[in-house]
A and B are shown apart, each in its own frame.
Chain A
């Protein structure tokens, strides 16, 4: 009986620990925050800076949308957007980060800086699961690159 109790206890503790490990935090600073209840949206206005474990965001405005369980499902940064992740820095006019699909789409006048190389385009899609990034140009602006040899 004692063994069963011990096994249950160990199982429960490991479950609690693993659940705790899955928790992530998003920290945001701004001049103003407006929260609307229906639908639940948080709008950060003015000198916005946000960070989680992997990414840092800057923008004029950042919008956070929640799902029905009040968990964040979408982060949208608008205006003078800068994203820093790993050894990469991305600049653009707008960024949409879908937490469920773990995809980030940066649009507008996009520039990617990495290891001294610069990549310019109209839209950048980053798949955070596979670490695959695709940069697209537009009719007006083709993709251009400046690579240090």
Chain B
């Protein structure tokens, strides 16, 4: 009698154990399924992540430039860039270097938007910093917004915004313009 009782007890314990394991597994599976569903929801079609992207135009059209970044995310035909650096040439073929925290490069429109610690400088020590810049590569026009500071060997210019029209040799600074010119 005792033997049967032990067997029945073990059987009941075994069935209970199976039920517990099954229930826990079912919870894990449903959690996993929920995670996969949420990932699928977040994925946007046409988004590709690129490491160290570089865009070079060696230019038969006399407008060579190079844009590089640590990371890029291609969203349809535009590319979001992180830790951006680049090289452009002005109309006198002088090299202009750029760097910024973030960029948004439109290959079709040949426009790059730079944000966060934007720095533009050349080999002569001329430097311009701002918070946001939009460079139209084709027409060689740069629009700088938010806290523009330009420093050369002989002057320092501060303003709210600025437009550099390289093609027409014109630089406009607008809003709270403050200039200090060194003159011997």
Residues of A within 8 A of B (CB): 19, 22-38, 42, 44, 64, 70-72, 99
Task: Chain B residues near A32: list those with CB within 8 A.
Answer: 172-175, 177
* Selected contact of A27 from candidates B169, B172, B179, CB within 8 Å: B179
For A24, give the chain B residue with the smallest CB separation. B183
* Closest chain A residue, CB of each to CB of B174: A32
Q: In the assembly, what is the distance between CA of A24 and CA of B179, in Å?
A: 14
Q: Which residues of B contact A (CB under 8 A)?
A: 154, 157, 159, 169-184
**Contact pick for A37, options B169, B182, B183, CB 8 Å:** B169
CB distance from A22 to the nearest CB of B (A): 5
Q: Which of B159, B176, B181 contacts A25 (CB 8 A)?
A: B181
Instruction: Say how far B144's CB is from chain A's closest CB, in angstroms.
Output: 13
- For B150, the closest partner residue in chain A by CB is A35
| A33 and B183 form a contact (CB under 8 A) | no
Contact B169 A38 (CB under 8 A): yes
Which single member of B154, B169, B172, B184 contacts A33 (CB below 8 Å)? Answer: B172
In the bound assembly, the distance between CA atoms of A42 and B157 in angstroms comes to: 12
Q: How far is the CA of A24 from the CA of B177 in the complex (A)?
A: 20
Docked-complex contact B175 and A23, CB < 8 angstroms: no
A57 vs chain B, min Cβ distance (A): 13
Cβ-defined contact, A33 with B177, below 8 A = yes
Shortest distance from the beta carbon of B27 to any chain A beta carbon, whole Å: 67
Contact A71/B183 with A32-B172, A34-B172, A36-B169 known, Cβ cut-off 8 Å:
yes
How close is A138's CB to chain B, nearest CB, in angstroms?
33
Q: Contact check: which of A31, A33, A34, A37 meets B179 at CB < 8 Å?
A: A33
- Pick from A22, A33, A70: contact of B157, CB under 8 Å: A33
Q: How far is the CB of B145 from chain A (nearest CB, A)?
A: 15
Inter-chain contact B177/A25, CB cutoff 8 Å: no
> In the assembled complex, how far is the CB of residue A149 from the closest CB belonging to chain B, in whole angstroms?
42
Q: Can you name 29 A-B pairs with beta carbons within 8 Å?
A: A19-B184, A22-B184, A23-B183, A23-B184, A24-B182, A25-B182, A26-B180, A26-B181, A27-B180, A27-B181, A28-B177, A28-B179, A31-B174, A32-B177, A33-B172, A33-B173, A33-B174, A33-B177, A34-B171, A34-B172, A35-B170, A35-B171, A35-B173, A37-B170, A37-B171, A38-B169, A42-B179, A44-B179, A72-B183
**A31 contacts which chain B residues (CB < 8 A)?**
174-177
Given A34-B170, A37-B169, also A29-B182 (CB < 8 A): no
Residue of B nearest to A22 (CB): B184
Per the bound structure, the CA–CA distance linking A27 and B156 in Å amounts to 10
Pick the contact of A23: B159, B173, B182 (CB < 8 A). Answer: B182
| Residues in chain A near residue B184, CB distance under 8 A | 19, 22-24, 71
Give Cα A84 to B182, complex, Å: 21
A42 to B180 CA separation, bound complex (whole angstroms): 12
| Beyond A24-B184, A29-B176, A37-B171, 13 extra complex contacts between A and B, CB < 8 Å | A22-B184, A24-B182, A26-B183, A27-B178, A27-B180, A28-B177, A29-B179, A30-B177, A31-B174, A34-B171, A35-B173, A44-B179, A71-B183
